Amino acid sequence: MNKVEQSTTGENKKSLNFIEAIVEKDLKEGRNGGRVQTRFPPEPNGYLHIGHAKAICIDFELAEKYNGVCNLRFDDTNPVKEDVEFVESIKDNIHWLGFEWGEIYHASDYFPQLWDFAVKLIKEGKAYIDEQSAEEIAKQKGTHTTPGVHSPYRDRPIEESLKLFEKMNSGDLPEGAMVLRAKIDMAASNMHFRDPIIYRIIHTPHHQTGTKWKAYPMYDFAHGQCDYFEGVTHSICTLEFEVHRPLYDWFIDQLADSDYRPRQYEFNRLNLTYTMMSKRRLLQLVEGGLVSGWDDPRMPTLAGLKRRGYTPTAIRSFIDRIGYTKYDGMIDLALLEHSIRQDLNAKAARVSAVLDPIKLIITNYPEDKTEMMSSINNPEDESMGSRDVAFTKELYIERDDFMEDAPKKYFRMTPGRETRLRSAYIVKCTGCKKDDDGNVVEVYAEYDPETRSGLPGSARRVKGTIHWVSVPHSVDAEVRLYDRLFTVEDPANEKDKELAEMINPDSLKILNNCKLESYLGDAKPGDNFQFTRLGYFNVDIESTDDKLVFNRTVPLRDSWSKKN
Ligand code: ATP
Ligand code: MG
């Protein structure tokens, strides 16, 4: 958590996270000429997830805070898995979170420079073409306690490697025929220095460069060099890249012709309980039909969270709360849910919706009368005003707000007891009607005209208050209730379980017969509301004028932690 400190001037000042502290130290020491430049470098091989939001926030917020620039760079070095669909969704997501990049770059923009650099390394005797298979190369890697074995091609003539490197890019060779390796140290304690592969052959056309290239640089050979070409000062990534950092620096030392160096810093990746954070695994969910798509509201993708009703404000305040550290850990999904409740509590209008309706008839209320009851839109925000809600003889209430034989402490509808209908009257339940199978089909009550909300007589108090919707004024809707997608806390760690086995069968429940107050008839996709007593809901993108569809973003309270 970010701490709030009292500064000497008495104003509240948030303490710096460790990356901000590094940047401030660099600025103080005049490093990089006082320049701060970051980049967000997604591989366009899937939709961004909430983990990426953590990287986006630090990259863009650092640039904003220190008058620098953050560029967007598509790390597109593997055409097999990449696609323009992903490029577009990534751009949308960043804008949605409220950030603006300086320039858009692609690793593929630098393919010519990377090629020239590889040629330079070959000429200096620092790279060679290896004709062994990937398996053979892997076998020779050695272990943490034993050195690797030299490839039989390691000392081949420079001229030969130069010719073969050209050939790798000609299209005449099948994939896997040969690779280019950096010639560093097969006994290095850091395994990444044991003659890493830096180029491989791929025949799949590239979404940016088409069929121009057949030899593609590996991530480690592209990333740091791209940072260098662009002038990045602080290259921020997740902790798993810490062990790659010496190689990152090694390549740049071979390339640099001045004192300028981009520097890599690593922070803890976001892991959330009951969620999975890998584009590869999320793709499996999509392709396996286990979810309806990348924007399924149960997905941890930004597209899914947006569709579910999450706001950029909630996501950014969540990221701010969890902070940046040097230690990996697991964050409770409940914390993300807390953030969206907090934001929507401040912003969402309170409305009435009955998800599992049963009719309530106020037997002593005039047949053709309609009263307009004033209802405050949001007690947290006076400026949101109030609206009139129609009250009539026939209302819908929730089926479970009636109980024929109720225990003593049940303060909702049960024969002989009084309950308040929210923003309206106190009513006394008088009974119910059942069908031949014994199911309750209608509930009856009498109202007390002296108890209208807001009038002097309304001072009389009863224990329970329930919500309702006027039958003639109601609109129909489908409401989709979501729950956590997986039944296990850390699905990525369940190595022997199939994804399908871990899916929570109750993660989606569709209610088809919901009755909403007429105010919601005009709601548009994306609008957020609090359904009184039920939770926060938003209008789904599949909603039309003919058929309203709502998503439950989150219930009002965290029921899971209590249940389990
Ligand atoms: P995935 O495994 O989900 O595909 P990735 O690391 O391969 O993730 P990239 O597109 O390469 O995804 O990542 C872009 C940036 O986002 C990188 O800097 C990466 O470190 C960061 N990032 C990815 N996942 C997380 C996460 N869970 N938490 C924080 N940052 C992340
Ligand atoms: Mg990646």
Residue 341, token pair as written in the block: 């409740």
Residue 2 placed within a domain: no
Specify whether 411 is located in the same domain as 371: yes
Q: How far is the CA of 284 from the centre of ligand 1 (A)?
A: 17
β-strands 508-516, 528-531: how paired?
unpaired
Rounded mean pLDDT, 240-266 = 97
- Which range of residues forms the domain containing residue 225? 17-267
Query: Does 219 have pLDDT greater than 60?
Result: yes
**Average pLDDT of every residue of the chain:** 95
- Is the distance from CB of 128 to CB of 161 less than 8 angstroms? yes
Active site residues: 43, 269, 279
User: What do you get for the CA distance between the two ends of the chain, in Å?
Assistant: 26
Instruction: Please tell me the distance between residue 134's alpha carbon and the centre of ligand 2 in angstroms.
Output: 20
Report yes or no on 9 lying in a domain. Answer: no
384-395 pLDDT per residue, tens: 999 999 999 999
Residue 310 has pLDDT above 60, yes or no: yes
Structure tokens at 54: 């953590």
Closest CA to 286 of 549, 499, 494, 42: 499
511: enclosing H helix or E strand: strand 508-516
The DSSP secondary-structure symbol of 491 reads G
Both 238 and 307 in one domain: the answer is no
For 68, list phi and psi in degrees, rounded to 5: -110, -155
Pairing label, strands 371-376, 469-470: unpaired
- Spatial separation of the C-alpha atoms in residues 55 and 60, rounded to whole Å: 9
Lowest-pLDDT range of 11-20, 497-506, 547-556 = 11-20
Nearest CA to 350 out of 451, 452, 423 is that of 423
In this predicted structure, the answer to whether residue 53 has a pLDDT above a threshold of 90 is yes
Evaluated on CA atoms 297, 303, 309, 315, the torsion sign reads positive
Which residue, by CA, sits nearest to atom 15 of ligand 1? 42
Q: How far is CA 137 from the centre of its chain?
A: 38
Predicted confidence band at 254 (pLDDT cuts at 50, 70, 90)? very high
CB distance 237 to ligand 1 below 6 Å? yes
Co-location of 104 and 167 in the same domain:
yes
Same domain, 216 and 99: yes
Instruction: Please indicate whether residue 277, judged by its CB atom, sits closer than 6 Å to ligand 1.
Output: yes
List CB contacts of 544: < 8 A, sequence separation 6 or more. none
**Given the CA of residue 42, which atom of ligand 1 is nearest to it?**
10
Specify the residue with its C-alpha closest to ligand 1, atom 8: 278
Residue 123 shares a structural domain with residue 157 = yes
Q: Any residues with CB less than 8 A from the CB of 500 and at least 6 apart, and which?
A: 288, 290
Question: What spacing in Å lies between the alpha carbon of 526 and ligand 1's midpoint?
Answer: 27
Asked, for residue 4, whether it belongs to a domain, the answer is no
Contact 137, 130 (CB under 8 A): yes
pLDDT for 272 equals 97
Are 496 and 386 part of one and the same domain? no
Q: What is the pLDDT of residues 133-188, one digit of tens each?
A: 999 999 999 999 999 999 999 999 999 999 999 999 999 999 999 999 999 999 99
Strands (E), 91-188: 104-106, 127-130, 179-182
**Which residues have a Cβ under 8 Å from the Cβ of 48 and sit 6 or more positions away?**
42, 56, 89, 90, 93, 301, 302, 303
pLDDT at position 13: 62
Q: Let me know: does 190 contact 243? Beta carbons within 8 Å.
A: yes
> Is residue 158 in a domain?
yes
283 beta partners: none
Q: Is 283 in the pocket of ligand 1 (CB under 6 A)?
A: no
Q: Does residue 455 register a pLDDT over 80?
A: no
Q: Is residue 6 part of a domain?
A: no
∠ Cα 21 233 249 (to 5°): 105
Q: SS3 string of 373-442?
A: EEEECCCCCHHHCEEEEEECCEEEEEHHHECCCCCCCCCCECCCCEEEECCCCEEEEEEEEECCCCCEEE
Choosing from 241, 267, 293, the residue where a domain stops is 267
Which amino acid makes up residue 104? I
Residues 168 and 233 placed together within one structural domain of the fold: yes
CATH number for position 317: 2.40.240.10
Q: What pLDDT, on the 0 to 100 scale, is given for residue 454?
A: 81
Ligand 1 binding pocket includes 374 (Cβ within 6 Å)? no
Mean pLDDT of 297-316: 98
Nearest to 202 by CA among 117, 312, 325, 79: 79
Question: For strand 357-362 and strand 394-398, is the pairing parallel, antiparallel, or unpaired?
Answer: antiparallel
Tell whether 10 is covered by a domain: no
State yes or no: pLDDT of 207 exceeds 90.
Answer: yes
Please say whether the beta carbons of 365 and 393 come within 8 A.
yes
Both 154 and 35 in a single domain?
yes
Looking at the fold, whether 151 and 232 belong to one and the same domain comes out as yes
**Over 90: is that where the pLDDT of 460 sits?**
no
Residues 46 and 185 in one domain: yes
The confidence score (pLDDT) of residue 10 equals 45
Report the length, in residues, of the chain: 564
Of the ligands numbered here, which is closest to the C-alpha atom of 75? 1
Residues 453 and 486 in one domain: no
Confidence (pLDDT) at 5? 47
With respect to residue 533, please indicate whether it lies within any of the assigned structural domains: yes
> How many structural domains comprise the chain?
3
Q: Are 104 and 233 members of one domain?
A: yes
CB 226 within 8 A of CB 117: no
Is 104 part of a structural domain of the chain?
A: yes
Q: Is the CB of 107 under 6 A from ligand 1?
A: no
Given a contact cutoff of 8 angstroms between Cβ atoms, the answer to whether 543 and 550 are in contact is: yes
Q: Which ligand is nearest to the CA of 241?
A: 1
Find the CATH number of the domain harbouring 32.
3.40.50.620
